[in-house]
Amino acid sequence: MTTIERPAPSADTSAVEPRPSSSRRIALTRHGKKEERRAIVMIAPAVILLALFIFIPAILAFGLAFTNARLISPYPATFVGLDNFIRLASDPTFFRALINVAYFAVVVVPLQAGVALVMALLINKQVRGTTFFRTVYFLPVVTSMVVVSLLWLFMYRQDGLINIIIDRVTFGLIQGPDWLNDTATSMPAIILMSVWQGVGFHMIVWLSGLQTIPADLYEAADLDGASGWQRFRYITWPGLSATRSLILVTITIQALSLFTQISVMTQGGPLDSTTTVVYEAVRAGFAQQETGYASAISLVFFVIVLLISVVQRFLTRDKD
């Protein structure tokens, strides 16, 4: 009788993965915990600084807004409820500051974003000298705002550089105004200086967004015979959607927090034509030493900025 030998079934060793031993698992766990501790140590300084200079002052300001606290006073602060907010609702200077900030933001946001985009488009070309122009355009950004404000303060004087240029160009037919002491020209002068100082930063942001757009799209557009405006409308502008949202939010927040230029150049004048909400809060808290009232101004302004940011985020969201 013949016996038929059957081959033994071959084991698929590739499908069976060896399980790590218990010592190996313990080593992996210890390594993960070690990396976690390193991460905590790395982020701890940033968290501490944020807590000391952002979170704790915000909480204190929220609490002080409901008290009559003063910066220097022999009497302890007492709870006054909504008295500071009631006083704020009838303060004409505060509403004038809101109007000034709104005017500044409405003009600066589109103007600065538009000028920065045009500059970015110009220096995005691969031609000789673009590095030089990038440096020149960005130079005002790295200069302190206090230094820039002092420089333009002298330029805006009655006998300053700007009026001298106007006088020379018009052959003495037009005399320049006293820019910072005239209610009609004080805020436009602040706007011009602010746009000049901040446009370089947003130019770099636009430029980084332009360089993320694939060059193949422009090559295909050239093959189809698209004009320059069509290339911008259907390729460049849609490709800058994320960059556009970032620039809109950053310029708006910077415009609403206008303070340094006002403090150095006009101190809110003339006749409160350049006063802002942040300047009013600082003046109330330090010059007038009304810490509770200044905290109420800051709290109301925080809510306003938060609402504006939410609306902007809703309008610039990705609808796809």
Indicate the SS3 state at residue 79. strand
pLDDT at position 152 is 93
Q: Are residues 171 and 60 in the same domain?
A: no
pLDDT at position 99 is 94
Q: Are residues 130 and 204 in the same domain?
A: yes
Query: In whole angstroms, what is the distance from residue 320 CA to residue 312 CA?
Result: 17
pLDDT at position 14 is 47
Query: Is there a domain that residue 151 lies in?
Result: yes
- Structural tokens at position 175: 């005399």
Read off the pLDDT of residues 8-67 as tens digits, 9 standing for 90 and up. 554 444 444 555 566 666 766 776 777 888 888 889 898 999 889 888 888 888 888 999
Query: In whole angstroms, what is the distance from residue 194 CA to residue 111 CA?
Result: 11
Return all residues near 299 (Cβ < 8 A) that are at least 6 apart.
61, 62, 65
Provide the sign of the torsion angle of the four alpha carbons 150, 153, 159, 161, taken in this order: positive
pTM, rounded to two decimals:
0.81
What residues of the chain score a pLDDT lower than 50?
1-2, 4, 10-16
Domain that includes residue 43, residue range:
24-64
Q: Are residues 55 and 115 in the same domain?
A: no
Helix or strand run (H / E) with residue 253: helix 241-256
Query: Is there a domain that residue 184 lies in?
Result: yes
pLDDT at position 175 is 85
Q: Which of 274, 294, 271 is nearest to 101 (CA)?
A: 274
Residue length, the chain?
Answer: 320
- Structural tokens at position 164: 């001298």
Residue where a domain terminates, one of 33, 64, 95: 64
Q: Are residues 91 and 58 in the same domain?
A: no
Q: Are residues 297 and 197 in the same domain?
A: yes
Q: Are residues 110 and 48 in the same domain?
A: no
Q: Are residues 273 and 201 in the same domain?
A: yes
Q: Are residues 34 and 117 in the same domain?
A: no
Query: In whole angstroms, what is the distance from residue 129 CA to residue 289 CA?
Result: 53
Q: Determine the longest span between alpha carbons in the chain, in angstroms.
A: 129
153: domain CATH number is: 1.10.3720.10
Query: Is there a domain that residue 320 lies in?
Result: no
Query: In whole angstroms, what is the distance from residue 178 CA to residue 163 CA?
Result: 9
Query: In whole angstroms, what is the distance from residue 301 CA to residue 297 CA?
Result: 6
Q: Which residue has the tokens 């204190």?
A: 60
Q: Which residue has the tokens 């900030």?
A: 101
Which residue stretches of 90-129 are H helix? 92-123
Provide the sign of the torsion angle of the four alpha carbons 161, 166, 171, 175, taken in this order: negative
Helix or strand run (H / E) with residue 36: helix 22-50
Query: Is there a domain that residue 218 lies in?
Result: yes
Query: Is there a domain that residue 29 lies in?
Result: yes
Q: Are residues 203 and 116 in the same domain?
A: yes
Q: What is the DSSP string of 134-150?
A: HHHHHHHHHS-HHHHHH
Query: Is there a domain that residue 73 lies in?
Result: no
pLDDT at position 193 is 93
pLDDT at position 187 is 94
Read off the pLDDT of residues 59-89 as tens digits, 9 standing for 90 and up. 888 888 999 888 887 888 888 889 999 999 9
pLDDT at position 142 is 87
**Inter-residue contact 138 to 208 (CB < 8 Å):** no
pLDDT at position 16 is 47
Looking at the structure of the chain, the number of domains it has is: 2
Q: Are residues 151 and 52 in the same domain?
A: no
Query: Is there a domain that residue 41 lies in?
Result: yes
Residue where a domain terminates, one of 32, 64, 96: 64
Provide the sign of the torsion angle of the four alpha carbons 250, 252, 253, 259, taken in this order: positive
Q: What is the DSSP string of 185-216?
A: THHHHHHHHHHHHHHHHHHHHHHHHHTTS-HH
Average pLDDT over all residues of the chain:
85
Query: Is there a domain that residue 161 lies in?
Result: yes
- Structural tokens at position 97: 């500051």
Q: Are residues 36 and 122 in the same domain?
A: no
Q: Are residues 269 and 159 in the same domain?
A: yes
